[in-house]
Amino acid sequence: MTTVLQLEQISKQVFNESDRHTTILNQINLTVNKGDFITVLGGNGAGKSTLFNAITGSTSVSGGQVSLKGKHLNTIKEEKRAAFIARVFQDPKMGTAPRMTVAENLLLALKRGQKPTLFSRGLNRHYDYFKSLCETIGNGLEEKLDVPTEQLSGGQRQSLSLLMATLTEPDVLLLDEHTAALDPKIAVRLMELTDQIIHEKQLTCLMITHRMEDALKYGNRLIVLEKGSIKSDLNEKEKSALSMDDLFHLFERDETPAP
Partner 1 sequence: MIISAIAQGLLWSVLGIGIFTTYRILNFPDLTAEGSFPLGAAVAVTAILFGIHPIFASLLAVIAGMLAGLVTSLLYIKGKIPIILSGILVMSGLHSVILFIMRRPNLSLLNQPRLFDTFSGLPNYFDVVVVGLIVLMIVISLLLGFFYTDLGQAYIATGDNEKMARSFGIETDKMKLMGIVLSNGLIALGGALVAQNNGYADVNGGSGIIVIGLASIIIAEVAFSNMKLGERLLTIVIGSILYQLLLLGVIRLGLDTTYIRLFSSAILAMCLMLPQVRQKMRLGTLIGKGEEF
The binding site for partner 1 (CB under 8 A) comprises 56, 58, 78-80, 82-83, 86-87, 89, 93-100, 104, 107-109, 111-114, 116-121, 123, 164
**Residue 7: CB minimum distance to partner 1, A:** 19
Alpha-carbon span 162 to 176, nearest angstrom: 11
201 burial level (CB within 10 Å; 0-12, 13-18, 19+): middle
H or E element in which residue 86 lies: strand 85-88
> Rounded to whole angstroms, how far apart are CA atoms 136 and 132?
7
* Closer of 116 and 184 to partner 1 (Cβ): 116
Supply the minimum distance, in Å, between the C-beta of residue 207 and partner 1.
16
Task: Give me the least distance between CB of 198 and partner 1, in Å please.
Answer: 18
Residue closer to partner 1 by CB (options 99, 253) is 99
- 182, 201 contact by CB (below 8 A): no
Specify the amino acid at residue 128.
D
Shortest approach of partner 1 to residue 224 CB, angstroms? Answer: 26
Tell the smallest beta-carbon distance from residue 96 to partner 1 (Å): 6
Classify the C-alpha dihedral 148-150-139-104 as positive or negative.
positive
Asked if 63 and 10 touch (Cβ cutoff 8 Å), the reply is yes
Which CB sits closer to partner 1, 112 or 231?
A: 112
Which is closer to partner 1, CB of 129 or CB of 248? 129
Backbone angles phi, psi at 201, to 5 degrees: -90, 0
Minimum distance from residue 155 beta carbon to partner 1 (Å) = 18
Which one, 88 or 230, has the nearer CB to partner 1?
A: 88
Count of positions (residues) in the chain: 259
Q: Which is nearer to partner 1, 94 or 188 (CB)?
A: 94
HEC letters along 183-217: CHHHHHHHHHHHHHHHHHCCCCEEEECCCHHHHHH
Residue 18 gets which letter from DSSP?
A: T
8 Å CB contact between 74 and 45: no
Closest approach of Cβ 80 to partner 1, in Å?
A: 7
Of 100 and 212, which CB lies nearer to partner 1 in the complex structure? 100
